[in-house]
Amino acid sequence: MKQTYRGSCHCGRTRFEVDADLDKVRVCDCSICRRRGALSYRADPADVRLLTPIEALTLYTFHTRTARDYFCPVCGILPFRRPRTAPNLWAINVRCLEGVDLDAIPIEQVYGSRLP
């Protein structure tokens, strides 16, 4: 069942809400995700509410320029992104959500390093 979670970057400048059923999170082994260490949950855009305008964030793209990584320009945390393999969805960094027991969520390994 979906629950509403509040999320933010470290300094609190970037804030958002997401309606999610945290049945699993994803860990990717691509070059950026491996360094970032995020636990991602894919959400439909209708379930995500950005409380900070997207224009206030820093955008990073690389390789095919399909994935869109949004960072807080102050603290550098990535609270969400548009993934390359599903650019119509949001990938929420579950580590940025309040009140989540990370140890209770199953982890799915994703092999982004194998993408062309």
* pLDDT tens string 62-111: 989 999 999 999 999 999 999 999 999 999 999 999 999 999 999 999 99
Residue 100 dihedral angles phi and psi, to the nearest 5°: -105, 130
Please, what are the domains in the chain? 3-114 (2.170.150.70)
CA–CA gap between residue 86 and residue 79 (Å, rounded): 17
Condensed to tens digits (0 to 9), the pLDDT of residues 16-59 reads: 999 999 999 999 998 888 898 999 999 999 999 999 999 999 99
pTM of the full structure: 0.92
DSSP structure string for 36-100: H---EEEE-GGGEEESS-GGGSEEE--TTS-SEEEE-TTT----EEE-TT-TTSEEEEGGGBTT-
Going by C-alpha positions, the residue among 17, 36, 97, 32 that lies closest to residue 66 is: 32
Strands 107-110 and 25-28: parallel
Q: Can you give the pLDDT at residue 106?
A: 97
Kindly indicate the confidence band of residue 116, based on its pLDDT and cuts at 50, 70 and 90: confident
Q: Can you give the pLDDT at residue 112?
A: 85
Q: Can you give the pLDDT at residue 92?
A: 98
Q: Can you give the pLDDT at residue 31?
A: 86
Residue 52 dihedral angles phi and psi, to the nearest 5°: -115, 130
Q: Can you give the pLDDT at residue 30?
A: 85
Q: Can you give the pLDDT at residue 93?
A: 97
